[in-house]
């Protein structure tokens, strides 16, 4: 079961990215291009856009796992704590950050987004090299 989930977690972003790359390429005119260079440029644009978006989302998730947004989430929890009648669990930010750090210990690097993003960027670079050769 574990291998299926792992493989599925890589295949879903890749399939969604492939669909988005095909959509972007179609929007840029890859299927109605007059020359091969125009079609390759449209496909390169689609792969590059999807690759950058996947890498950016993976990078944001990586920084979130590292704890970069803890202060922001603490501020939001304080705001909602003022508006609600429930008592806060944490006395200060240090206790809050320690609780989140203990909770985050099992989280891993989001390779399920970074790897397909790198694949799409490599595909865009390969297409760009072919585009420059013709």
CA–CA separation, 126 vs 92, rounded Å?
A: 51
Q: Is the pLDDT of residue 2 over 50?
A: no
Residue 65, both tokens: 């796992």
CA–CA separation, 69 vs 96, rounded Å?
A: 12
* Of residues 26 and 94, more confidently modeled: 26
**Are the beta carbons of 45 and 24 closer than 8 angstroms?**
yes
CA–CA separation, 74 vs 65, rounded Å?
A: 15
Q: Is the pLDDT of residue 3 over 60?
A: no
Query: Considering only 8-22, 26-40, 76-90, which range has the smallest mean pLDDT?
Result: 76-90
Residue 124 DSSP one-character state: H
| pTM across the whole model | 0.80
Its domain, for residue 127, covers 2-133
pLDDT tens digits, 101-111: 877 777 778 88
The pLDDT assigned to 33 comes to 86
The phi, psi pair for 92, rounded to 5°, reads -150, -175
Query: Considering only 25-29, 72-76, 83-87, which range has the smallest mean pLDDT?
Result: 83-87
pLDDT tens digits, 50-64: 999 999 999 999 888
Q: Among the residues of 67-110, which ranges form H helices?
A: 70-83, 93-104
* Of residues 5 and 80, more confidently modeled: 80
Counted domains in the chain: 1
The phi, psi pair for 58, rounded to 5°, reads -65, -40
**Does residue 34 sit in helix, strand or coil?**
coil
CA–CA separation, 124 vs 19, rounded Å?
A: 15
């Amino acid at each position: 079961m574990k291998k299926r989930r792992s493989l599925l977690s890589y295949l879903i972003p890749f399939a969604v990215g492939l669909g988005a790359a095909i959509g972007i390429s179609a929007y840029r005119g890859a299927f109605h291009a007059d020359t091969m260079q125009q079609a390759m440029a449209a496909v390169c644009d689609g792969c590059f856009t999807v690759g950058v978006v996947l890498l950016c989302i993976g990078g944001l998730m990586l920084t979130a796992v590292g704890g970069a947004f803890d202060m922001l989430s603490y501020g939001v929890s304080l705001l909602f704590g003022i508006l609600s009648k429930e008592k806060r669990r944490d006395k200060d930010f240090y206790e809050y950050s320690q609780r989140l750090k203990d909770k985050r210990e099992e989280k891993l690097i989001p390779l399920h987004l970074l790897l397909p993003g790198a694949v799409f960027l490599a595909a865009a670079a390969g297409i760009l090299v072919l585009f420059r050769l013709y």
